[in-house]
Amino acid sequence: MKLKNLLYAQSGGVTSVINTTAAGVIETARASKKIGKVYAGKNGISGILKEELIDTSQESDTQIKNLKYTPGGAFGSCRFKLKDPKENPNEYLRLLEIFKSYNIGYFLYNGGGDSQDTTNKIANFTQTSGFPVQCIGIPKTVDNDLPYTDNCPGFGSVAKYIAVSTREAALDVESMSDTSTKVFIMEVMGRHAGWIAASSSLASEENDGPPHIILFPEKKLLQRKFLKKVKQTVLRNGYCVIVVSEGLRDYKGNFLSDSGKIDAFGHKQLGGVAPRIAEMVQIKLGYKCHWSVPDYLQRSARHLSSKVDFDQAFAVGKSAVEFCLNGDSSVMPVIVRLKTKKYSWKIGKVKLSKVANIEKKLPSSYITKDGFNVTKKFRTYVEPLILGEAYLPFKNGLPINANLKNKLVKKRLKKFS
């Protein structure tokens, strides 16, 4: 019997190690000898609907290895949500057509909560279609907001980047504060969940910072209380480092930085809360401020990835293929923290129906009572996730990245509209 082929695709905001997961999928599938071709959807489900399939068998083992060192989504990602199959089955019927035509037995979708909703819908649809495809979700998100997994691949690396960057910038600000900048504000990603902002706390071993103040999307900004804390900090330390989540809201519940635009998932497009805070501090307290918005730099900083994150990103890719070979469907590999003294973990499994469309926010037990810092409990949680350096090879002073052919297969189906 002809071996079934595998279709892998990337979805949603990318991470610095999502391609490490892709390498985990491809290397494991190649080694198994039980899977035919590994196709990759170009630009996620959006490209798959257009029959834009990349034949990864054209890529050498070396280039697949180089994927592990390459940030971004090597096959293209997308922000694209499938419609409800009951209301509009067209997209699902098209996918079925693709799956049949390319003898797809396994569909692996690498994304966050929104994407796992898509994976689950496809899984359910193929179950009753007469052409069942094993659908496996693979977790990925810098936001760390997926439930049922101790942490999400991608998060450990951004946590490390933000912790190191906060530490480095704080040393800079501290040395200039006598005659120049007194307050430094860094805006980090996190629309609804403050995991990334919280991880900046690792910059110091103690809770007295820097960062001296962390502003979470889970806590509304009380301006007077905040400014009082800034002033106290400057008077005590000579300077103040503030880390703020892009999703910070005012006391009325409005985003401090609401651009008024909406993305393809219907989320409000944010950005620019750091300059807002800087303006507030400068006007109300008169301190010279500098602000930073790393934006995509934080989630693509493969040069500073955590080794733990790197290993876990590879492992979820590998496990997803093993789940396929084990006959599983409608599940997602998760990271399970083991109850050992020294941090250790294993891969577990959860049903997709449980994770789809759920956002795991920062528990209140992880935020200090005054709302401006993290608790010891959070530090214990996050510390192991940034451990180790996932060094990558450099050439001419720059990282070596994968150079894929990304050759599309010749289309054989009618155009989809």
Q: Is 178 a catalytic residue?
A: no
Under the criterion CB under 8 A, does residue 408 sit at the interface with a second copy? no
**Does 302 participate in binding a second copy (rule CB under 8 A)?**
yes
398 binds a second copy (CB under 8 A): yes
State the nearest-atom distance from the C-beta of 32 to a second copy, in Å: 27
Does 389 interact with a second copy (rule: CB under 8 A)? Answer: yes
Question: Could you tell me the smallest distance in angstroms from the CB atom of residue 118 to a second copy?
Answer: 13
Q: Is 271 in the site for a second copy (CB under 8 A)?
A: yes
Residues 66-85 that bind a second copy (CB under 8 A): 70-80
Q: Which of 57, 237, 292, 368 binds a second copy (CB under 8 A)?
A: 292
Q: Give the span between the Cα atoms of 183 and 240, in whole angstroms.
A: 5
Phi and psi dihedrals of 248, rounded to 5?
-60, 140
Q: In this complex, which beta carbon is closest to a second copy, that of residue 1 or of residue 398? A: 398
Q: Does 26 bind a second copy (CB under 8 A)?
A: no
Q: Does 208 bind a second copy (CB under 8 A)?
A: no
Instruction: Give the three-state DSSP class for 49.
Output: helix
CB of 328 to a second copy, least distance (A): 28
> Which distant-in-sequence residues (6+ apart) come within 8 Å of 195 by Cβ?
143, 144, 145, 155, 159, 362
Among 290, 337, 354, 361, binds a second copy (CB under 8 A): 290
Residue from 13, 111, 139, 194 that binds a second copy (CB under 8 A)? 13
Site size toward a second copy, by CB under 8 A: 74
Residue choice 58, 88, 103, 175 for contact with a second copy (CB under 8 A): 175
Binder among 36, 85, 132, 275 for a second copy (CB under 8 A): 275
Does 388 engage in binding with a second copy (CB under 8 A)?
yes
Write the CB contacts of 247 (distance below 8 Å, at least 6 apart in sequence).
Answer: 190, 191, 192, 193, 194, 217, 255, 270
Task: Please check whether residue 53 is in contact with residue 102, taking contact to mean a CB–CB distance below 8 angstroms.
Answer: yes
Task: Assign residue 412 a region (left: φ > 0; alpha: ψ between -120 and 50; beta: otherwise).
Answer: alpha
Torsion angle (degrees, nearest 10) of CA 33, 149, 137, 108:
-30
Binders in 82-121 for a second copy, by CB under 8 A: none
Which entry of 117, 143, 145, 311 is annotated as an active-site residue?
Answer: 143
Rule CB under 8 A: is residue 269 a binding residue for a second copy? yes
Q: Which of 65, 132, 176, 250 binds a second copy (CB under 8 A)?
A: 176
Q: Which of residues 304-343 bind a second copy (CB under 8 A)?
A: 304, 306
Quick one: DSSP state of residue 409? P
Quick one: how far is CA 353 from the chain centroid?
20
Tell me whether residue 170 is exposed, middle or buried, using C-beta atoms within 10 angstroms of its C-beta: 0 to 12, 13 to 18, 19 or more. Answer: buried
- 128: its two tokens: 């009753």
Residue 263 lies near a second copy (rule: CB under 8 A)? yes
**Which segments of 109-259 does DSSP mark as H helices, in order?**
113-127, 155-176, 195-199, 223-237
Name the nearest CA neighbour of 141 among 89, 198, 73: 73
190 part of the interface to a second copy, by CB under 8 A: no
Spatial distance between the Cα atoms of 10 and 308, rounded to a whole number of angstroms: 21
**Does 250 contact a second copy by CB under 8 A?**
no
Q: What is the footprint of a second copy within residues 358-377 (CB under 8 A)? A: none
Active-site annotation, residues: 143
